[in-house]
């Protein structure tokens, strides 16, 4: 895997921006792209997000460091909470999977 120098990694995003909201790509494309980014301009949005496939449809994940900011986006555009543990790894990074069961 090649990492771009200076770019925040997915692990850093999950660590520093734990409040994540998922929206279908059709809600995020076209004129809504500018509307959503203008809405998030003053919020704690991460410099980049994730894109994942769920039910054979692409979705975009918005990551926030403050829960209230994520709730604002969720309420305004009708997203759902996203658990980063369900994101795929390796060559299948874009596919969602079941959350891992952890036994302590």
**Contact indicator for 49, 63 with CB cutoff of 8 Å:** yes
Residue 96 placed within a domain: no
Residue 32 placed within a domain: yes
Write down the pLDDT at residue 102.
42
Q: In whole angstroms, what is the distance from residue 7 CA to residue 64 CA? A: 17
Q: In whole angstroms, what is the distance from residue 22 CA to residue 69 CA? A: 14
Write down the pLDDT at residue 6.
78
Write down the pLDDT at residue 33.
85
What the block records as the tokens of 100 is 């891992």
Q: Mean pLDDT per 10-residue run, the chain (104 residues)?
A: 73 90 82 88 90 83 94 91 75 56 39
Residue 101 placed within a domain: no
pTM: 0.79
Residue 90 placed within a domain: no
Residue 98 placed within a domain: no
Residue 26 placed within a domain: yes
Look at the chain and report how many structural domains it folds into: 1
Residue 49 placed within a domain: yes
Buried (b) or exposed (e) across 66-88, using 16+ Cβ within 10 A?
eeebbebbbeebebeebebeebe
Here the CATH number for the domain that contains residue 44 is 3.30.70
**Domain residue limits at 69:** 15-85
Write down the pLDDT at residue 42.
93
Residue 96 DSSP symbol: B
């Amino acid at each position: 895997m090649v990492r771009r120098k200076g770019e925040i990694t997915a692990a850093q995003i999950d660590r520093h921006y734990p409040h994540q909201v998922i929206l279908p790509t059709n809600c995020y494309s076209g004129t809504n792209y500018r509307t959503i980014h203008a809405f998030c301009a003053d919020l704690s949005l991460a410099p980049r997000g994730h894109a994942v496939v769920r039910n054979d449809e692409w979705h975009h994940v918005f990551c926030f460091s403050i829960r209230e900011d994520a709730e604002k986006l969720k309420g305004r555009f009708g997203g759902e909470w996203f658990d980063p543990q369900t994101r795929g790894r390796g060559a299948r990074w874009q596919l969602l999977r079941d959350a891992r069961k952890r036994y302590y």
